[in-house]
Amino acid sequence: MAESASKAAPGERVVIGITFGNSNSSIAHTVDDKAEVIANEDGDRQIPTILSYVDGDEYYGQQAKNFLVRNPKNTVAYFRDILGQDFKSVDPTHNHASAHPQEAGDNVVFTIKDKAEEDAEPSTLTVSEIATRYLRRLVGAASEYLGKKVTSAVITIPTNFTEKQKAALIAAAAAADLEVLQLISEPAAAVLAYDARPEATISDKIIVVADLGGSRSDVTVLASRSGMYTILATVHDYEYHGIALDKVLIDHFSKEFLKKNPGAKDPRENPRSLAKLRLEAESTKRALSRSTNASFSVESLIDGLDFASTINRLRYETIARTVFEGFNRLVESAVKKAGLDPLDVDEVIMSGGTSNTPRIAANFRYIFPESTRILAPSTDPSALNPSELQARGAALQASLIQEFETEDIEQSTHAAVTTMPHVTNAIGVVSVSESGEEKFVPIIAPETAVPARRTVHLDAPKEGGDVLVKVVEGSTHINVIKPEPKAKEDGETKEKTEDADDDGDFDDDDEEEEEEEEEEEKREKVWKIGSTLAEAAVRGVKKGAKVEVTINVNTDLTVIVTAREVGGKGGVRGTLSA
């Protein structure tokens, strides 16, 4: 009864989108089909995923985060990734500075003093109870903002969430009196946020979603085919993330502090000092994303000594180089894992708070060709706030399905609907380039889910008349235009001399050499015409008219080709059985 009571009728739902992150969470809703991220009571749109208890009062978000300095034992942070996990698969690294996770049977628990009485026993709270309490606060903030009790939500999750983690999240939300309409993957939410903009055009493209968060980074390669998204590859990383950047700043400033105050203790070895450093490092990092200079100041860092300093962006980028390069490798490995080349990527969507760092986006610019759009605030003025993408996507999805019956949602997300065959090779027609060569014009891109239907309009020959429509398969390959042989020789001789000088440096030099070569190399993607599927004739095309070719691929991989003159009658239609 209680469960059914919490489920509002489809027409009476008040829905929001929630990004429940390991470091930060966001809530969003839609106004007239436009997503808007909601600020909580403190005015935060990125709400730290932290709960803290002081004298029996519950704090969440930024307020709770500030208690990491004064009250770390009764503060729970970074618990999203623990939800629904066995203790043995929990990574407690980030929990070190707050309440520690403990094993209790099948559950992971935190021991927290959440009662006001002085002598009250600390409570043992399961991670799902913590999640429930946190979600309740998020929903409360959203309800207050909207003036209506929020009943349902779409929540984003990482692509590698297990069924158990999903179930735990749904249960935790249900306990917070929140109906989960759907769990959607974070990269899909980010893509949806971009695709739902009114100015967006839906085309077939390969998108890399780089979700660089506080405690983890996930890179996903998606094929977006007329607004439907298929994940081609994902990589997850727990080494390169926002906290790693914070750590670089902490180390930098700690060393500076020790230099300024000889004889002082290392602030990194005192938990309280370290907590202060962490908070300040994060805000300095954010400031460095916005401006080229930032200050770093902590009062009473250790033993009553104050510390204040400044850093400029260039210095920061130098000391954080290893982390930035880690992000580069991560993105490259994801593209490689998908069996693609950077040239195949049409768009890079940068998501997550760390994506605000200008250097990371600039580095990605070098990985991908000119034609690839890098959607980050520093590289593209039309980019959306990377921290808000997922919440927006979730809110949009929530508004799309809010009137669905629960059963409809279940059926629509059923594997029979989501799992579809995808075409391997591109399907297109042969056209003639200016130089008179045959050229492949893709109509259906590879990795398109079937059933699929695409239409193109092609020019007819200048003088009109009868036209041949030759439907072929196509594939891409990367043409590498080697640099001039002379340069290569130079490199070789150089290498040889270096080799003679010092054997130990040989490997490094080799790599450098390759990098240099790669810079000079010209790489381009070319279409190769594959096997012919069908030929058709459109007769009597007028001069200067266009020919419309529609290709339909059914679930059983039969192909239906329709060709006609635009505005003309009749036309040719033929079926290729699978």
Partner 1 sequence: MNATVVSLPLPTLPEGWAAEKDFKAIGKLTQEGSSMRTLEPVGPHFLAHARRVRHKRTFSEDDRIQAQAKAKKIEQDSDSDISEEEDPMLLARDAKDWKTQDHYKVLGLSKYRWRATEDQIKRAHRKKVLKHHPDKKAAAGRADDDNFFKCIQKAAEILLDPVKRRQFDSVDEEADIPPPTKKQLAKGNYYELWGKVFENEARFSKIQPVPGFGNENSTREEVEAFYNFWYNFDSWRSFEYLDEDVPDDNENRDQKRHMERKNANARKKKKAEDNARLRKLVEEAQAGDERIKRFRQEANAAKNKKRLEREAAERKAAEEARLKKEAEERARKEAEEKAKAEREAAKKAKEAAKNAVKKNKRVLRGSVKEANYFVEGEASAATIDAVLNDVDLVITKIDADEIAALAGKLNGLTVADEIKNVWKEEVSRLVGAGKLKEGDIKALVA
Binding mask 201-240 for partner 1 (x = CB under 8 A): -xx------------------x---xxxxxxx--------
Pairing of strands 546-553, 559-565: antiparallel
Q: How far apart are CA 158 and CA 217, in angstroms?
A: 10
Q: Kindly list the strands in the beta sheet with 102-104, ordered across the sheet, starting from the edge strand earlier in the chain.
A: 102-104, 107-112, 123-126
Tell me which H or E stretch contains 541.
strand 522-541
Which C-beta is closer to partner 1: that of 138 or that of 561?
A: 561
* Residue 170 contacts partner 1 per CB under 8 A: no
> Per-residue x/- marks for partner 1, 71-90, CB under 8 A?
--------------------
Q: From residue 441 to residue 470, what is the string marking binding to partner 1 with x (rule CB under 8 A)?
A: x-x---x-x-x-xxxxxxxxxx--xxxxxx
**CA 242 to CA 90: how far, in whole Å?**
19
The dihedral formed by the CA atoms of 187, 191, 193 and 195, expressed in degrees to the nearest 10: -170
Q: Nearest distance from residue 5's CB to partner 1, in Å?
A: 9
Q: Does 8 bind partner 1 (CB under 8 A)?
A: no
Distance of alpha carbon 561 from alpha carbon 290, whole angstroms: 52
Tell whether residue 24 is among the known ligand binding residues: yes
The one-letter code for the residue type at 320 is: A
Residue 116 engages partner 1 in binding (rule: CB under 8 A): no
- Residue among 387, 16, 23 nearest 182 (CA): 16
- CB nearer to partner 1: pick between 279 and 441: 441
Using the rule CB under 8 A, which residue among 8, 305, 362, 534 binds partner 1?
A: 534
- List the structure tokens of 256: 């500076």
Q: Which residues pair with 48 in a beta bridge?
A: 24
**H or E segment at 173?**
helix 163-175
413 is an interface residue for partner 1 by CB under 8 A: yes
**Least gap, CB of 431 to partner 1 (angstroms):** 4
Indicate whether 114 belongs to the interface with partner 1 (CB under 8 A). Answer: no
Q: Minimum distance between the CB of residue 218 and partner 1, rounded to whole angstroms?
A: 14
The sign one gets for the Cα dihedral 184, 185, 186, 192 is negative
531 binds partner 1 (CB under 8 A): yes
Site for partner 1 in 374-393 (CB under 8 A): 393
Q: Which is nearer to partner 1, 54 or 576 (CB)?
A: 576
Identified binder of partner 1 from the candidate list 132, 397, 402, 476, rule CB under 8 A = 397
Distance separating alpha carbons of residues 422 and 57, to the nearest angstrom: 54
Kindly state the tokens that stand for 141: 């903030």
- Phi (first) and psi of residue 84, to 5 degrees: 75, 15
CB of 458 to partner 1, least distance (A): 5
CB of 122 to partner 1, least distance (A): 33
Distance CA(427)–CA(417), nearest Å, equals 23
CB of 526 to partner 1, least distance (A): 15
Considering only residues 182 to 201 of the shown chain, the ones binding partner 1 according to CB under 8 A are 182, 184-185, 187-189, 191-192, 195-196
Strands 522-541 and 465-481: antiparallel
Least Å from the CB of residue 517 to partner 1? 32
Output the known binding site for ATP: 22-24, 80, 213-216, 282, 285-286, 289-290, 353-354
